[in-house]
Copies of this chain bind each other. A is one copy, B any other.
Amino acid sequence: MTTNTTDATLETFLDENHDRRIESYKDLLRIPSISALPQHADDCRATAEWIATDLRASGIEHVSVEPTGGHPVVYGDWLHADGAPTVIVYCHYDVQPVDPLELWTSPPFEPVVVGDRMLARGASDDKGQLHIHLRALEALFATRGRLPVNLKFIFEGDEESSAEHLDKWVNENRDRLTADFVVISDTGFFDGNLPSITVGLRGIMYAQIDVVGSRLDLHSGVYGGAVDNPANVLARIITSLKGPDGRILIPGFYDGVVSLTERERELLTELPFDEDDYRRRIDATALTGEAGFTTLERRGARPTLDVNGIWGGFTGEGSKTIIPAHAHAKVSCRLVPNQDPEVIFASFKAFVEDIAPPTVRLTVTSLGTGRPSLTPVDHPATQAAARALEATFGRAPLYIREGGSIPVCATFEETLGLPVVLLGFDPPDQQAHAPNEWMDLNNYERGIRTVVRMWDEVADLDPSSLGQTPH
């Protein structure tokens, strides 16, 4: 156990402010900050202003809501811990769309506490984690009048829609963003809700395929047999992307992939993981994936290809005898070190164009990319996070590779040359991109204590030991 336990005054403050804290959490969740939908631009801005007001109230300085090409970034800092390390804290305030709305048990932007859970869109991903940081700050300032370390906050609003705006903003603000390392809170605990530090993240390549056959829908009796069908063509294209063994068939796709070492494969087998329980929880009939790999390897350390959406023709009740004029699919790949998402998109596009028949018109468009990343387990900041988690949760964290993508992770590594520690508190089955997203309120409360302990731990580190991340 670390000696830097949270002090009694701070615990008393947190106890006394519990109800007010939950109301504030709900207030933040009520604003429908869906970044992917243009009609929610004002909600994204309102969320940014809400956060800025909260930061200022706690004692953070130089708080500003700053324009990007997309939704605004909230910046703020406090830099009076002389000699202590400087840390950039990153969370995102935008959320995923909410459809299918009919599957929510309560409206996604009317947060409710059910048992130990906060239920709302963004409850975990990522407003919940952002709110943990806000409340840790508030408690520190309220009880000590200062912070143990220097902090610079970046709360963005485009994480769920596009990486380009923050990339540009970080690049343009490099001079302001000097620091020793970055903490990103946008990850979660391992299966079974064991405290964990994510040390590997997959990247992403997200594209749309549009196939056009004719000017209008055609009568399937009159034209059936004489023309190609865009929906059948699209099915053929999708099928050609991945073999029956789960291997992706895009030429060169696996060229950059760093294989797991034998030691890494061993560590993965040592994680407590009940495959059957995992399968039952999502109500799948069976797990499956790339031949030659375990489920944990497949979801963390191997690249994937999935259809995220498909549509074309008549999709209503009953029957309509048409050959659709056009058909569409959104297809994305999760990527692993060292795959380059831009190269993968170019290969994907070239392959799809190559296999598409001359009987249709085809367009392949990028809807965004994000680089994969790896964080060193033995970095002093990673170890400080591990001590803070162990002190709060009573057990040492697991080190895991996660399947999701946090493109900004690679941006901090590459643009600022800083190591990134992924300190996150989401429960593993939080339904982040599905209906009924939730946060475990025990994780939320302990998360606040963990962040306080983390800053106390970091205060003891020698800034010169933190160095820069290797490329």
**Quick one: given A206-B319, A225-B289, A310-B313, are A404 and B219 in contact (CB under 8 Å)?**
yes
| Known contacts A161-B319, A282-B215, A323-B306: A238-B227 contact under CB 8 Å | no
Question: In this assembly, does A67 line the interface, its C-beta being within 8 Å of a C-beta of chain B?
Answer: no
List residues of chain B with CB within 8 A of the CB of A298: 225-226
List B contacts of A225 (CB < 8 A).
246, 289-290, 298-299, 302-304, 334, 403
- Which residues of the other chain, B, contact A96 by a CB distance below 8 angstroms? 320
B284 in contact with A316 (CB, 8 Å): no
Is there a chain B Cβ closer than 8 Å to A103's Cβ? yes
Is A257 an interface position by the 8 A CB rule?
Answer: no
User: How far is B213's CA from A324's CA once the two chains are assembled, in angstroms?
Assistant: 25
In contact, A206 and B321 (Cβ under 8 angstroms) = yes
Indicate with 1 or 0, residue by residue over A187-229, a CB within 8 angstroms of chain B CB atoms. Answer: 0000000000000001010100000011111111111111111
A117 an interface residue at 8 Å Cβ cutoff?
no
Contact (A433, B403) CB under 8 Å given A220-B308, A309-B315: no
Q: Does A318 contact B (CB under 8 A)?
A: yes
Q: A37-B316, A220-B332, A235-B310 are in contact. List 14 more A-B contacts (CB 8 A).
A: A161-B318, A204-B321, A206-B321, A214-B282, A218-B434, A221-B403, A222-B432, A231-B310, A232-B242, A235-B307, A285-B361, A308-B320, A309-B313, A309-B316
Stretch among A135-143, A147-155, A352-360, A375-383 lining the B interface: A352-360
A-B contact pairs, 5 of them (CB 8 A): A99-B316, A225-B246, A225-B289, A284-B359, A309-B312
Please tell me if the beta carbons of A321 and B226 are within 8 angstroms of each other in the complex: no
Inter-chain CA distance A37–B306, complex, in Å, is 33
Are A360 and B228 touching (Cβ within 8 A)? no
Write out the residue numbers on chain B whose beta carbons fall within 8 Å of the beta carbon of A38.
Answer: 317
Contact with B along A234-264 (1 / 0, CB 8 A): 1110110010001000000000000000000
Known: A221-B405, A239-B239, A310-B311. A284 touches B214 (CB 8 A): yes
Chain B nearest CB from A140 CB (Å) reads 32
Pick from B217, B330, B332, B359: contact of A286, CB below 8 A. B359
Query: Please, which residue of chain B has its CB at the minimum distance from the CB of A406?
Result: B221
- B103 close to A216 (CB less than 8 A): yes
What 3 A-B pairs come out closest when comparing CB atoms?
A: A221-B404, A309-B313, A231-B307
A232 touches which of B97, B220, B307, B323 (Cβ 8 Å): B307
Report yes or no: B226 in contact with A287, Cβ–Cβ below 8 A.
Answer: yes
A288 close to B (CB within 8 Å): yes
The reply to whether the CB of A295 lies closer than 8 angstroms to some CB of chain B is yes
B contact residues around A428 at 8 Å (CB)? 222
Please indicate the chain B residues that have their CB under 8 angstroms from the CB of A318 in the complex.
36-37, 161, 367
How long is the Cα–Cα vector from A239 to B290 in the complex, in angstroms? 20
Q: Is A368 an interface residue (CB 8 A)?
A: yes
Output the nearest chain B residue to A281 by Cβ-Cβ distance: B215
Complex alpha-carbon distance, A435 and B214, angstroms: 13
A402 contacts B by Cβ under 8 Å: yes
A433 to chain B, nearest CB (A): 4
Which residues on the B side are within 8 Å of A235 (C-beta)?
Answer: 234-236, 238-239, 307, 310
Q: Which of B315, B322, B431 contacts A311 (CB 8 A)?
A: B315
Roughly how many angstroms separate A184 CA and B220 CA in the complex, as a whole number? 20
Q: Known: A215-B282, A216-B434, A225-B289. Is A320-B313 also a contact (CB below 8 A)?
A: no
Structural contact, A309 and B324, CB atoms closer than 8 A: yes
Q: Is the CB of B319 within 8 A of A36?
A: yes
**A448 CB → nearest B CB, Å:** 24
Verify A322–B434 contact, CB threshold 8 A. yes
- Is A327 part of the contact surface with B, judged by Cβ < 8 Å? yes
Chain B residues with Cβ below 8 Å from A314 are: 97, 99, 308-309, 330
Q: How distant is the Cα of A213 from the Cα of B282 in the complex, in angstroms?
A: 9
Q: Say whether, besides A217-B434, A307-B229, A308-B324, A367 and B330 are in contact (CB < 8 Å).
A: no
- By beta carbon, the residue of chain B nearest A433 is B219
A38 nearest CB neighbor, chain B only: B317
Pick from B224, B309, B358, B433: contact of A304, CB under 8 Å:
B224
Residues A289 and B403 in contact in the complex (CB < 8 Å), given A97-B316, A214-B282, A318-B37: no
Q: Given the complex, which residues of B lie within 8 Å of A37, measured CB to CB?
A: 316-318
